[in-house]
Amino acid sequence: NAGVTQTPKFQVLKTGQSMTLQCAQDMNHEYMSWYRQDPGMGLRLIHYSVGAGITDQGEVPNGYNVSRSTTEDFPLRLLSAAPSQTSVYFCASSILGTPNTEAFFGQGTRLTVV
């Protein structure tokens, strides 16, 4: 199994450009989420989804959109990139409910906005 796959691994954007960070999982997990990690800080939750067609905001949602049309994919969209969005982005997935709620993370997308 590939687990959680994020693409691209690296990206440089100009201020105002738009782009989509891709996240796909092949474990049939209901729950998927996006985090950002800034230097010296822990991960902060951007958006999450508990299943296809259902999304909700995390603690830092501004400037980001998400959709969940399939169980496998959970793309993160930046409509108008800003330098403050320079960060490393991690996607995670897990099953819901007991007994196993271990989260699996992708390897991250390093985004620089200039």
Partner 1 sequence: DAKTTQPPSMDCAEGRAANLPCNHSTISGNEYVYWYRQIHSQGPQYIIHGLKNNETNEMASLIITEDRKSSTLILPHATLRDTAVYYCIVRVRGGGSNYKLTFGKGTLLTVNP
39 interacts with partner 1 by CB under 8 A: no
**Given the structure tokens 């902060």, which residue do they identify?**
44
Provide the b/e sequence for 18-39 (b: ≥16 CB within 10 Å): ebebbbbbeeebbbbbbbbeee
CB of 80 to partner 1, least distance (A): 27
Answer for the pair 111, 21: CB distance below 8 angstroms, yes or no: yes
Cβ atoms within 10 Å of 95's Cβ, excluding its own:
16
**Binding test (CB under 8 A) with partner 1, winner from 48, 64, 78, 81:** 48
Indicate the residue among 19 and 50 with the shorter CB distance to partner 1. 50
Shortest Å, Cβ 108 to partner 1: 6
Hey, which residues does 110 pair with through a beta bridge?
10, 88
For residue 82, what are its two tokens? Answer: 């800003």
Piece in contact with partner 1 (CB under 8 A), picked from 14-22, 36-44, 66-74, 77-85: 36-44
Least gap, CB of 101 to partner 1 (angstroms)? 6
Nearest Cα to Cα of residue 90 among 74, 71, 70? 74
Stretch that binds partner 1, among 15-23, 41-49, 60-68, 71-79 (CB under 8 A): 41-49
- Contacting positions for partner 1 (CB under 8 A): 4, 30-31, 33, 35, 40-45, 48, 50, 56, 58, 88, 90, 92, 94-98, 101-108
